[in-house]
Amino acid sequence: MATPAADADFKTKLQTWVPKLVLSPSLALMLVFVYGFILFSVYLSFTDSRILPSYGWVGFENYDKLFRLRHWDIAVNNLIVFAALYIIICSVIGLMLAIFLDQKIRGESVLRPIFLYPMALSFIVTGTAWKWFLDPGIGLEHTMHLWGWESFHFDWIKNRDYAIYTVVLAAVWQSSGFVMAMFLAGLRGIDNEMLKAAQMDGATNFQLYHRIIIPQLRPAFLSAFVILSHLAIKSYDLVVALTGGGPGRATEVPATFMYSYTFTRNQMGIGASSSVIMLMTIVAIMVPYLYSELREKN
Amino acid sequence: MSFLTIDNATKSYGSVEVLHRVDIDVQEGEFLVLVGPSGCGKSTLLNMIAGLEDITSGTISIKGKSMNGVHPSNRDIAMVFQSYALYPNMSVAKNITFGLEMHKVPKAERETALRDVAKLLQIEPLLDRKPGQLSGGQRQRVAMGRALVRNPDVFLFDEPLSNLDAKLRVDMRTEIKKLHQKLGTTIVYVTHDQIEAMTLSTRIAVMNGGFIQQLGTPKEIYDTPANLFVATFMGSPSMNLIPVKILEENGGLVAETTNGLGETIKLPFAAPPTGLKDYVGRTITLGLRAEALTDPDGADSKAVNLVTVKNRVIVMEPAGSDTFVMTEFGGQDCNARMRADVQVAPGEDVDFTINMDKVVAFDPETEDRIV
Amino acid sequence: MSAGSTDTAVRTGRITRTALYLVLLLFALFYLLPFAIMVINSVKPLTEITGGNMMALPQDWTFDPWVKAWATAQIGVDPTGLKPYFWNSIKMVVPAVAISTILGALNGYVLTKWRFKYDTLIFGFMLFACFIPFQIVLIPMARILGLAGLAGSTPGLVLVHVVYGLGFTTLYFKNYYQVFPTELVRAAQIDGAGFFRIFWRLLLPSSGPIIVVSVIWQFTNIWNDFLFGASFADFDSQPMTVALNNLVQSSTGVKEYNVHFAGAILAALPTLLVYIVAGRYFVRGLMAGSVKG
């Protein structure tokens, strides 16, 4: 409803203002705490802030330093490896489980919650469980040795070159069930009569999935990609709980980098600039997605 | 002074004008139907009368009082919606009396009003049920009850029958007509169904593209459509349109065209519209209803000017009460309405009788009827 | 999920089906194992863990680790166990969930039934806030909480969680109310009901499912949050997740794994419980997280 005529009665006038008034506190909170804060952080990233915010303008110096830091290099590389593997493996496992579950499986109602429950856990809990499970001295390796498989060797969590893959493993464990649920919903939404028609046309099961069903899951793929990539970039808790960024700096990611530079190393300017880079990455992924979603709706 | 006046009403969304300068006067007790294809602006106009959408310019007044800017609940109107819009969490009784409650009508009065309406619509046994437990027809009644109980100046109906199945729709149509005759209320009714429009209304406004194409009684609309749009939109099967050339012969006007056999035929006008003289020598569009194109035995016995011509049957469709026969005039397919047990077969050449009393002529360029 | 399509068009042979079940069971094992082992080992004495097989059932059943994790374990400076932190979490979660859900419901109502110019843009701004990396707001938030005198306090954390949960709750209610018939609202307007009355009498009574979805989502997210808790909480307001991390990471003394496990399960229990009781809604919440809902 647009603006009322000038001679509108009181009730009509009131009704055009009340909704806006109701929305305004939320909007104000958002403007200050999200957009205002983003501006403030961006501003700080151009200052010489150390332990506390200070307002000496240093231009791009922080970014310059940031990109020269080996520590940041490691964090970015780790994030790329982590995000790529996390998204791909979650999608593959999620799609596979969804397709399998969609074959009129007996006990689906038991299996589905089992696949999904890790999503209800905190990353800290997940980290605690996997940290120990993967600990060679006491977890899986130790148990295998006790069972007589002496040559079994699995110490990735202690190994600089492989530790990041344990983060992937734990993260996949936590999120793949969720991707499964998204794909399953997509599969259940596909018109069964169309599949029957395709079978009449002589399509095999594989062709059915490859040519007809999976292409129609495009929206689910897109949603999964967006959500997983955003979880990956924000990942902080899991790394802290599982490896603490170690061994050494082997599993540092931008989220842990930002936290340690800002709050423990007192390099707030650099910390702020790293958070700006993180935001820009998310913006590059989210804005086109949200734009297309919202435009479609109207 | 009229009861409901729509004066020069326009509606724009941004820079797009969707309703252009609409003028309608509705008298008290009238049943006005707004009919047209989807997107013609009929629902927008109804919502503007209801106050659910504001008016961009012009005025809508009820009983001489401008309603511009008046809140819907203060306009003394009631509305029946396409989806019925029954409140799912309230019982039927609550649904009906909710509006009275909002207007602070005392409980005792509400009860009386509820009983009266329930009795009128025969929904007394349903009062304690929830809308989800009702059938389509019952919901429809409750929705009407909710409107009736308010005893408003004007009733607004927004395609109220379109969610019902075919049989129920006919029953409810009769029901609404009975109610109108009994209560004598003023009704504005929106539909895209031209049969509903014809059967229910005292007057019809045919709309298209945000314009009122024609405003008139059902008979006026049917017999003398203002333009080609009204001619084709109203009536089923829709009016046959034949390109003809106007000639002057023996002091009278004649329409010349061809039949399906490739022969030239001439159809003399009995009482041509005065404007037709200007079209001599030009091609116009001749409008012919299916019931004005019959077998010789089926022709209207009261008709004065009948012309019989031979033509070829393309398709025949027995419809029970009538048989529709398709043939061709001037290269256009034409529907003829013949008696139910007429003996014709596709490919056969038979006599067709044209009732020239009923033909209408249209200017092919302006698409308006020639008067 | 469509209920009617029980007959799948895809037919599978016997061997394929056996393979299907095998794979599905293997994955079930994969998802269950870490947590199951944690449960088993939380009721073992420490010696059985360090010396023995993690898969083995306990020879000596003991609930001491649970008692210790809850009441006496050394966390931070005091041997308080997780108990006070559990209550910290409750004191933070309950108001944050309630406020963000109420605001989200009102926002969703306005954005679908009382539309105005630029409302989609405003919604877009709110929605985007769900997805920002929270690192970008950490520094200014710490400043503002300090200036407002809320630093290190539970009300401060409530504020933080309300603000950053609002986008999601608004999204849920908007998607839900989008399919609520607008004609009903119009009918109620003609009947003379105003903004709040329509909300209270019409929309709210049929909002049960989405309220559950929103509450579960917010509860899970806020309960499981670590970053904000670690950044903005003091010892007397630290939530469960932060306390658990402190317990597990503490470098002093012997690592009491069984106590860690009991603590981890305690921290997971509320969300797991919600998941078991209302799993259906939990899935719906996750789905709605993919914007379309």
**Could you report the predicted ipTM of this complex, rounded to two decimals?**
0.84
Closest to A185 in 3D by CA, of C287, C290, C292, C210? C287
Average model confidence (pLDDT) for chain A? Answer: 84
- Please state, as a whole number, how many other Cβ atoms lie within 10 Å of the Cβ of residue B284: 19
Which pLDDT score, from 0 to 100, does residue B204 have?
96
Of the candidate ranges A148-152, B23-27, B225-229, the one whose mean pLDDT is the lowest: A148-152
Nearest to A133 among C34, C136, C139 (CB): C34
Number of domains in chain A: 1
Task: Indicate the domain borders of chain C.
Answer: 83-288
At B38, is the secondary structure helix, strand, or coil? coil
Full residue range of the structural domain in which residue A180 is found: 64-297
Which pLDDT score, from 0 to 100, does residue C287 have?
63
Chain A residues 258-277 within an 8 A CB cutoff of chain C: 258-259, 262-263, 268, 271-272, 274-276
- Please state, as a whole number, how many other Cβ atoms lie within 10 Å of the Cβ of residue C4: 6
* CB B42, CB B36: distance < 8 Å: yes
Report if residue A76 sits inside a domain: yes
Chains contacting C (3+ CB pairs below 8 angstroms) = A, B
Nearest to B54 among A2, A9, A11 (CB): A2
Query: For strand B186-191 and strand B31-35, is the pairing parallel, antiparallel, or unpaired?
Result: parallel
Average model confidence (pLDDT) for chain B? Answer: 91
Report if residue A265 sits inside a domain: yes
Q: Does any CB of chain A come closer than 8 Å to the CB of residue B71?
A: yes
Name residue A47's amino acid: T
Q: Does any CB of chain C come closer than 8 Å to the CB of residue A149?
A: no
- Each as own residue / partner, the long-range contacts of residues A105-112 (CB below 8 Å, 24 or more positions apart, any chain) are A105/C20, A105/C21, A105/C24, A111/C24, A111/C28, A112/A180, A112/A181, A112/A184
CB contact under 8 A, A7 and B68: yes
B264-268 sheet: strands from edge to edge: B264-268, B252-258, B240-249, B283-288, B360-362
Which pLDDT score, from 0 to 100, does residue B23 have?
93
Which pLDDT score, from 0 to 100, does residue A4 have?
44
* CB B324, CB B316: distance < 8 Å: yes
- Indicate whether C60 pLDDT > 90: no
> Quick one: closest CA in B to A8, which residue?
B69
CATH topology of domain C83-288: MetI-like fold (1.10.3720)
Q: Which of A22, A42, A124 to mutate to test the interface with C (most CBs of C within 10 A)?
A: A124
Report if residue A137 sits inside a domain: yes
- Indicate whether C69 pLDDT > 90: no
CB contact under 8 A, C241 and A237: yes
Chains A & B: contacts with CB separation below 8 Å: 30
- Indicate whether B284 pLDDT > 50: yes
CB contact under 8 A, C201 and B87: yes
Report if residue A24 sits inside a domain: no
Query: For strand B186-191 and strand B57-62, is the pairing parallel, antiparallel, or unpaired?
Result: unpaired
**Rounded mean pLDDT of B311-322?**
91
**Rounded mean pLDDT of B285-311?**
90
Peptide bond between residue B237 and the one before it cis (omega within 30 degrees of 0): yes
Q: Which of B68, B102, B104 to mutate to test the interface with A (most CBs of A within 10 A)?
A: B68
| DSSP letter, residue B271 | S
CB contact under 8 A, B103 and C192: yes
Closest to C109 in 3D by CA, of C220, C197, C219? C197
Name residue C247's amino acid: L
Task: Indicate the domain borders of chain B.
Answer: 4-233, 240-362
To the nearest 10 degrees (0 to 180), the angle between helices A268-297 and A218-234 is: 160
Nearest to A5 among B69, B73, B74 (CB): B69
The rounded distance, in Å, linking the Cα atoms of B113 and B127 is: 13
Smallest Cα distance from B229 to chain C, Å: 30
Of the candidate ranges A208-212, B122-126, B174-178, the one whose mean pLDDT is the lowest: A208-212
The rounded distance, in Å, linking the Cα atoms of A280 and A269 is: 17
* CB C149, CB C108: distance < 8 Å: no
Q: Which residue has the tokens 């018939």?
A: C181
H or E segment to which residue C69 belongs: none
B322-329 sheet: strands from edge to edge: B315-318, B322-329, B332-339
Which pLDDT score, from 0 to 100, does residue C2 have?
37
Residues 6+ apart with CB under 8 A from B107: none
Residues 6+ apart with CB under 8 A from A62: A45, A46, A269, A270, A272, A273
**Rounded mean pLDDT of B157-162?**
91
Q: Which residue has the tokens 């409810």?
A: B172
At B189, is the secondary structure helix, strand, or coil? strand
Average model confidence (pLDDT) for chain C? Answer: 84
Smallest Cα distance from B138 to chain A, Å: 32
For B281, the token pair is 């020598």
pLDDT digits (tens, 9 = 90+) for C177-190: 988 888 899 999 88
With DSSP H G I counted as helix, E B as strand and the rest as coil, what are the percentages for chain B, rounded to 5? 30, 35, 35
| DSSP letter, residue B51 | T
- Please state, as a whole number, how many other Cβ atoms lie within 10 Å of the Cβ of residue A122: 27
Closest to B144 in 3D by CA, of B105, B103, B102, B172? B172
Superfamily covering domain B240-362: Nucleic acid-binding proteins (2.40.50.140)
* CB B214, CB B179: distance < 8 Å: no
Q: How far apart are the first and last CA of chain A?
A: 15
- Please state, as a whole number, how many other Cβ atoms lie within 10 Å of the Cβ of residue C148: 12
CB contact under 8 A, C205 and B89: yes
CB contact under 8 A, A4 and B54: yes
List of chain C residues whose C-beta atoms are within 8 Å of the C-beta of residue B82: 183
To the nearest 10 degrees (0 to 180), the angle between helices C83-113 and C154-178 is: 40
Which pLDDT score, from 0 to 100, does residue C209 have?
84
Which stretches within chain B are classed as H helix?
A: 42-50, 92-102, 107-121, 136-148, 166-183, 194-200, 218-223, 228-233
Report if residue A45 sits inside a domain: no
Which pLDDT score, from 0 to 100, does residue A215 have?
84
Closest to B337 in 3D by CA, of B302, B293, B272? B293
Nearest to C141 among A37, A97, A147 (CB): A37
H or E segment to which residue B325 belongs: strand B322-329
List of chain A residues whose C-beta atoms are within 8 Å of the C-beta of residue B68: 5, 7-8
Report if residue A152 sits inside a domain: yes
CATH code, domain with A219:
1.10.3720.10
Q: How confident is the model at residue A210 (pLDDT cuts 50, 70, 90)?
A: confident
Q: How confident is the model at residue A141 (pLDDT cuts 50, 70, 90)?
A: confident
- Indicate whether B149 pLDDT > 80: yes
Number of alpha helices (DSSP H) and beta strands (DSSP E) in chain B = 8, 21
> Quick one: closest CA in B to A3, which residue?
B54
Peptide bond between residue C181 and the one before it cis (omega within 30 degrees of 0): no
Q: Is C13 exposed, middle or buried (0-12, 13-18, 19+ CB in 10 A)?
A: exposed
> Quick one: closest CA in C to A295, which residue?
C120
Q: Does any CB of chain C come closer than 8 Å to the CB of residue A1?
A: yes
CB contact under 8 A, B98 and C197: no
Of the candidate ranges A272-276, B103-107, C118-122, C277-281, the one whose mean pLDDT is the lowest: C277-281
Instruction: State which of A233-242, A286-295, B290-299 shows the largest mean pLDDT.
Output: B290-299
Q: Does any CB of chain C come closer than 8 Å to the CB of residue A51?
A: no
The rounded distance, in Å, linking the Cα atoms of B128 and B93 is: 6
**Rounded mean pLDDT of B244-265?**
90
**Rounded mean pLDDT of C80-98?**
91
List of chain B residues whose C-beta atoms are within 8 Å of the C-beta of residue C201: 87, 90, 98
Q: How confident is the model at residue C157 (pLDDT cuts 50, 70, 90)?
A: very high
Which pLDDT score, from 0 to 100, does residue A1 have?
39
Give the CATH architecture of domain B4-233.
Answer: 3-Layer(aba) Sandwich (3.40)
